[in-house]
């Protein structure tokens, strides 16, 4: 427990990579997605709420895109189990 607290208060340790590089890449992509979603909501979606028909079209389109992406990336996981007899 003390080792973890010591690492929090030791800033030069912030620049060492403790996990695989892919983990940092995924965290960066998720952060970018959250920031861009907030930007889109504040700058684009909020002013368009004044036009209900356009808002409905945009919501339907975005939900369609998300549904299509879910089905595109949804694949069954096939596990290969090797038994040595």
> Which stretch of DSSP H or E encloses residue 31?
helix 21-40
pLDDT band at 83; cut points 50, 70, 90: low
* CA quadruple 56, 44, 38, 30: dihedral sign: positive
Report CA-CA distances (Å) from 10 to 5, 24, 43, 68, 73.
Answer: 9, 20, 38, 45, 41
Cβ atoms of 58 and 48 closer than 8 Å? yes
Quote the pTM value.
Answer: 0.48
pLDDT in tens, 19-55: 777 888 888 999 999 999 899 888 887 888 888 888 8
d(CA 55, CA 21): 39
């Amino acid at each position: 427990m003390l080792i973890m607290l010591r690492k929090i208060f030791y800033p030069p340790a912030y620049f060492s990579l403790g996990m695989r590089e892919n983990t940092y890449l995924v965290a960066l992509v998720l952060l970018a997605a959250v920031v861009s979603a907030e930007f889109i909501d504040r700058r684009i979606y909020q002013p368009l709420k004044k036009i209900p028909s356009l808002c409905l079209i945009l919501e339907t389109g975005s939900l369609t895109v998300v549904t299509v992406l879910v089905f595109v990336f949804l694949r069954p996981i096939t596990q290969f189990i090797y038994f040595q007899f």
